[in-house]
Amino acid sequence: MVGLDTFKPISDEDPLKHLIHSEAYSVSQEVLDGCNIARNNGGRVIAVGTTATRALESAATSGLLSGNTTLFITPGYQWKMVDVMMTNFHMPKTTLLLLIESFVGKRWRILYQHAIDEKYRMLSFGDAMLLQRQTDTV
């Protein structure tokens, strides 16, 4: 469930010291099983939205299908479930942009510059992007 804190800017000088909000999530056993089957058979897990991404990663990390998560996905996070994500373009200095950076690495800046240059619409009712998770550490 998306709360207003999702969009709250990070005010700490060190973004990793930011206290992330708690967010309720629920992933059915059927969905989790389907994701695991797909990955075990060489398929990819595609999440639509950062909330769905955080829910799937929370379930994969904690082993709990539902609850409240404070999972803070930042650069260096070891992805466990999501391989591809569709999401919109997020505001600077937010936990959502840190999640995007964790997912695609430093190339997020190139993607965002392209979106700005081409006058893409930002935020929740704007344009979307389909991202494949970086698999290297470069």
Closest by alpha carbon to 99, among 130, 70, 72? Answer: 72
CATH architecture assignment, domain 22-74+81-132: 3-Layer(aba) Sandwich (3.40)
Which segments within 23-118 are labelled E, that is strand? 23-26, 46-48, 66-69, 84-88
* Calpha distance 126→120 (Å, rounded): 7
β-partners of residue 116 are: none
pLDDT tens digits along 44-99: 999 999 999 999 999 999 999 999 999 999 999 999 999 999 999 988 888 889 99
pLDDT score at 122: 81
* Calpha distance 98→76 (Å, rounded): 10
Listed by start position, the domains of the chain span: 22-74+81-132
pTM of the entire predicted model: 0.84
Q: CA dist 131 to 45, 69, 108, Å?
A: 12, 23, 10
pLDDT score at 138: 43
Residue 66 corresponds to which tokens in the numbers above?
A: 């539902």
